Amino acid sequence: MQTKSPVSVSVIIPVYNEEKLVRTAIEDCLRKLDADFEDYELIIIDDGSKDDTASILRTHFSNEPRLVLSPNNINLNQGVSVQRGMAIATKDYTVHNGIDLPLDIKDLRQLLDGVGDADVLILQRKQYAGATSWRLVTSNVNILIRTLLFPILTRGIKDMNYTQIYKRTILKSILPLAKSPAFTTPEMILRAKTAGLKIETRDVVFHARTHGSGSLGKLHDILWTIYDMFRFRYLLWIGLQVHGKVK
């Protein structure tokens, strides 16, 4: 019988209007986490859902000891929800995922077993399948602008918008000013690089959404992301780095 990992992990999943997915996805996560980890927590941030998501969470999971429910009273977006989850997390390592489980939880044990002394492990999609044409266009534009603004800091990293594994002890030092959904984690990675933290990458299988659609890719989110990118570029130009501290 395989022993469970001695490493503890916090898994953060933001949820918005996912009544069709939420119960089965959470049950799948809990089952796989319980099989592989002695100590874990699953943090669900209900981002002001307007369908039956909140009701399903209360009905089926309010007494689950390893699950932390932390709802947003209004819709704050994925970036803010991920950051709220990171503020709540208590375990050795923290990872965020989508409710459609693009990162299969069964892959997490192997990734953590191989994390070594890395402070941040960037998970890069081997393939980006299942995206709409619009999402592919906006994703490529996002990467282009980010590369032009941060050519040195982005070198060698091909995917900043999938998911990452962070040591909990370094989270406070790299939490971003950005609140936009598409620059929250890139800014954290860029802050980690400017702080000299150890960063490694791993290519992983991306599991495309099989039904329904996500809520990202709206024009408002795109403009918000571009604003956050230029703001951080300006802060680096004037020497302002981690949360206003001049280095």
**Total structural domains in the chain?**
1
What six digits make up the tokens of 152? 């040195």
Q: How confident is the model at residue 244 (pLDDT cuts 50, 70, 90)?
A: very low
For residue 242, pLDDT beyond 60: no
pLDDT at 209: 65
Q: At what angle do helices 219-237 and 133-149 cross, to 10 degrees?
A: 10
Q: Is 62 exposed, middle or buried (0-12, 13-18, 19+ CB in 10 A)?
A: exposed
| Residues spanned by the domain of 67 | 9-244
Give tens-digit pLDDT for 93-139.
Answer: 999 999 999 999 999 999 999 999 999 999 999 876 556 677 778 88
Cα–Cα nearest to 183, from 215, 219, 223, 156: 223
Give tens-digit pLDDT for 202-229.
Answer: 999 998 766 655 555 578 888 999 999 9
Higher pLDDT: 59 or 209? It is 59
Task: Using a cut of 0.75, tell me whether the model's pTM lies above it.
Answer: yes
Note whether residue 2 is domain-resident.
Answer: no
Number of H-type helices and E-type strands within the chain: 8, 7
- Beta strand pairing call for 163-167 and 120-125: antiparallel
Query: Nearest-5° angle of CA 224, CA 169, CA 157?
Result: 50
Note whether residue 169 is domain-resident.
Answer: yes
Higher pLDDT: 134 or 57? It is 57
Note whether residue 157 is domain-resident.
Answer: yes
Q: Is 172 exposed, middle or buried (0-12, 13-18, 19+ CB in 10 A)?
A: exposed
pLDDT at 246: 34
CA distance 21 to 98: 11
Note whether residue 1 is domain-resident.
Answer: no
What six digits make up the tokens of 80? 């803010």
Domain CATH for 62: 3.90.550.10
Note whether residue 4 is domain-resident.
Answer: no
Note whether residue 3 is domain-resident.
Answer: no
Cα distance between the two ends of the chain:
51
For residue 168, pLDDT beyond 70: yes
Mean pLDDT for the stretch of residues 173-194: 95
For residue 196, pLDDT beyond 80: yes
CA distance 137 to 131: 10
Residue 193 CA, distance from chain mean position: 17
105 in Cβ contact with 182 (< 8 Å) = no
Give tens-digit pLDDT for 33-48.
Answer: 999 999 999 999 999 9
